[in-house]
Amino acid sequence: MVLSEIEKKLADKHPQILRTDIHKILQIILLEITDALCNSQAVELRGFGRFSITTKKARIGRNPRDGSRVEIPSKKAIKWKCSKTLFNLLNNNFTEKKISDTY
């Protein structure tokens, strides 16, 4: 699903809200999440998951064309952890006891 499909579904569920307003609201939400992550702040959406920033260490890699060594600099990446609520919805055949036994 892409952002335009989410906008369309929200517009269909809430016909009293203009689609352009829905687009602006979603853009504001995504911009605030992006700003928080750029400032190394974690973002938690209860019932969905938690976004945080992790730093990958610098390392030495290989160029696949000629096999020469290449220094890969350190970089930031986004880490996402699924909430227990979403995990249980995705795996509705599990019980709490079975989930704790799988770890």
Give pLDDT tens digits for 82-99: 999 899 888 886 665 555
Count structural domains, the chain: 1
Report the C-alpha gap between 71 and 80 in whole angstroms. Answer: 27
Task: Flag whether 21 is in a domain.
Answer: yes
Say if residues 69 and 59 touch (Cβ distance below 8 Å).
no
Task: Flag whether 82 is in a domain.
Answer: no
- Letter for the amino acid at 11? A
Please name which of 89, 3, 77, 86 lies closest in space to residue 44, comparing C-alpha atoms.
Answer: 86
Q: What is the mean pLDDT of residues 31-60?
A: 95
pLDDT score at 92: 84
Give pLDDT tens digits for 59-87: 999 999 999 999 999 999 999 999 998 99
Task: Flag whether 44 is in a domain.
Answer: no
Return the structure tokens found at 37: 């992550």
* Parent domain of 20: 1-39
CA distances to 3, 8, 10, 26, 58 from 21, in Å: 14, 12, 11, 9, 43
Task: Flag whether 45 is in a domain.
Answer: no
pLDDT score at 95: 60
Task: Flag whether 4 is in a domain.
Answer: yes
pLDDT score at 101: 53
> Is 60 exceeded by the pLDDT of residue 23?
yes
Task: Flag whether 60 is in a domain.
Answer: no
Task: Flag whether 22 is in a domain.
Answer: yes
